[in-house]
Amino acid sequence: MDIDIIIPARRGSKGIPEKNQLLLDHTLSKIPLEYHEKTIITTDDEFLINKIGHTYSECRIHHRSEKSAQDTASVKECIAEVINDFSLNRDIIMLYLTYPNRDWQTIVDAYKWYTGNKSESLLCREPIQDHPYLCMYEIDKNKGRQIIEHDLYRRQDYPTCFRLSHMISIFNAAALKKLNKNLYNENTNFYRVPQSIDVDTYEDLRKFRDLYDS
C-alpha cells in the first residue's frame, strides 16, 4: 500500500488520564514492521516520545504543536499540521488508538475497498442498537422533544441508519481540506465494520481488558 499512517496521540485526556499511554502498544504492535517507517505518531507526550524511540524506533514522531494539542483542537487541524510538516502527498490512513481490538487485516481490507470504489475519503460504519427516530432531547423535567421530527409508528418504515465510526479513516493528503472536522463530507464512503469498543471511559477500558485477557 502506497500510504502514510498517522496516529494522533495527544497527552491530555479528560475521560481517562494518560489513555494513549495505555493503548499505544495495542495499535503499533499490529502494524507490520515494513509499515513502521510509513507510520507517524503525532504527540505532545514525552512518555510516548521516549517509548516510541526505544520500542518502535522505525516509526516517525511528529511533535504536535501546543495549538493542535489543545482539547478544543479538531483532529483535522492536527492532521493538516502533520501533512504540512512532513510534506505528505499520498493516501493517508488515520488510526485512533482508542480502537485497540482493530486488526491489521481489517485495515488492509478497508484500503482495498477504498481504492476499489475510487473513494475520495473513507470512514467506518457500525450497526446501531437504538434508532435515532426513538431518541429524544430532554427539554424539561419529565418532558422531551424528538431529535428527528417524524410521525412514523412502524419500525419497518424507519430509514436505514448506521453509527459513524473512526476506527479507520482514509483520505488523500490533498483531499483533507474538503473534509469537515470529523473527516468526512457528502462524498465519503462508509466501510462496514462490526460494532467495536471505542475506549473513552473506564467502563470501555474494562470491557476491552476483559475481552483481551480472555
Q: Give the start-to-end residue ranges of the domains of the chain.
A: 3-126+163-213, 128-161
Q: Confidence class of residue 174 from pLDDT cuts 50, 70 and 90?
A: very high
Q: 207 falls in which pLDDT band (50, 70, 90)?
A: confident
Instruction: Please name the amino acid found at residue 59.
Output: C
Q: Give the whole-number percent of the chain exceeding pLDDT 70.
A: 99
Taking the C-alpha atoms of residue 116 and residue 178, their distance in angstroms, rounded to an integer, is: 21
Task: Write the pLDDT tens digit of every residue in 48-77.
Answer: 999 999 999 999 999 998 898 888 889 999
DSSP per residue over 4-64, as a string?
A: EEEEEE-S--SSSTTHHHHHHHHHHTTS-GGGGGGEEEEE--HHHHHHHHHH-TTSEEEE-
This prediction's pTM: 0.90
* Contacts of residue 54, Cβ cutoff 8 Å, sequence gap at least 6: none
DSSP 70: S
Which helix (H) or strand (E) segment holds residue 75: the answer is helix 75-86
Answer for the pair 92, 170: CB distance below 8 angstroms, yes or no: yes
Instruction: Judge whether residue 160 has pLDDT over 70.
Output: yes
- Alpha-carbon distance 164 to 185, whole Å? 12
Q: How far apart are CA 12 and CA 63, in angstroms?
A: 14
User: C-alpha angle 81/102/130, rounded to 5°?
Assistant: 95
pLDDT at 214 (0 to 100):
58
Question: Which CATH code fits 3-126+163-213?
Answer: 3.90.550.10
